[in-house]
């Protein structure tokens, strides 16, 4: 009985401390509890590529990304979000990659796609090539747009 009363007091004190801390953050402060993450895919190659990204408006089939164009999507960073995309660059270069994970360390994630996807790591001031992977039993023909 004493343990549960102590736990309640601890929980109430923690909650009160959190409320007081948040209430003293200035209104003009750039702090956001769940900041938006922006992911940009840029086709920097000399031919169209095809893509789909899960949990976006482009997640049910392959979409063309013409050369020198971009596709951008946003989502709130709640907990540990992960977003993947599938790229079809050419017959020898296609597969999935993690467009965003907490390890990406970016809130504006910029991907340059030529022969491979490259993420710009602003924390390291350099581009990093990412590997494409192909899950077992994945059939790309299931995702080509259906033309009526």
Give yes or no for a contact between 21 and 14, defined as CB atoms under 8 angstroms apart. no
Predicted local confidence at residue 138, as pLDDT: 80
Give yes or no for a contact between 73 and 39, defined as CB atoms under 8 angstroms apart. yes
The per-residue pLDDT for range 118-135, each reduced to its tens digit, is 999 888 899 999 889 988
> Whole-angstrom Cα distance, residue 65 to residue 85?
13
Where residue 20 falls among pLDDT bands split at 50, 70, 90? Answer: very low
> Whole-angstrom Cα distance, residue 148 to residue 92?
29
Higher-confidence position of 128 and 30: 128
> Whole-angstrom Cα distance, residue 111 to residue 128?
9
Domains and CATH numbers, the chain: 36-143 (2.60.40)
Lowest-confidence range among 2-11, 52-61, 100-109?
Answer: 2-11
Where residue 24 falls among pLDDT bands split at 50, 70, 90? Answer: very low
Where residue 6 falls among pLDDT bands split at 50, 70, 90? Answer: low
Predicted local confidence at residue 27, as pLDDT: 47
**67-81: average pLDDT:** 84
Where residue 67 falls among pLDDT bands split at 50, 70, 90? Answer: very high
> Could you give the percent of the chain with pLDDT greater than 90?
29
Contacts 24+ apart (CB under 8 A), 89-93: 89/45, 89/49, 89/113, 89/115, 89/116, 90/47, 90/115, 93/132
Predicted local confidence at residue 72, as pLDDT: 94
């Amino acid at each position: 009985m004493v343990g549960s009363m102590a736990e309640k007091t601890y929980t109430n004190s923690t909650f009160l401390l959190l409320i007081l801390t948040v209430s003293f953050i200035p209104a003009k402060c750039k702090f956001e509890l769940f900041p938006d993450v922006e992911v940009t895919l840029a086709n920097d190659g000399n031919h169209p590529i095809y893509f789909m990204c899960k949990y976006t408006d482009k997640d049910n089939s392959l979409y063309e990304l013409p050369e020198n164009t971009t596709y951008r999507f946003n989502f709130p960073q709640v907990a540990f979000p992960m977003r993947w995309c599938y790229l079809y660059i050419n017959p020898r270069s296609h597969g999935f990659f993690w467009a965003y994970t907490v390890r990406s360390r970016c809130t504006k994630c910029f991907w340059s796609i030529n022969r491979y996807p490259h993420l710009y790591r602003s924390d390291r001031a350099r581009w990093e090539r990412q590997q494409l992977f192909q899950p077992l039993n994945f059939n790309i023909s299931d995702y080509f747009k259906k033309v009526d």
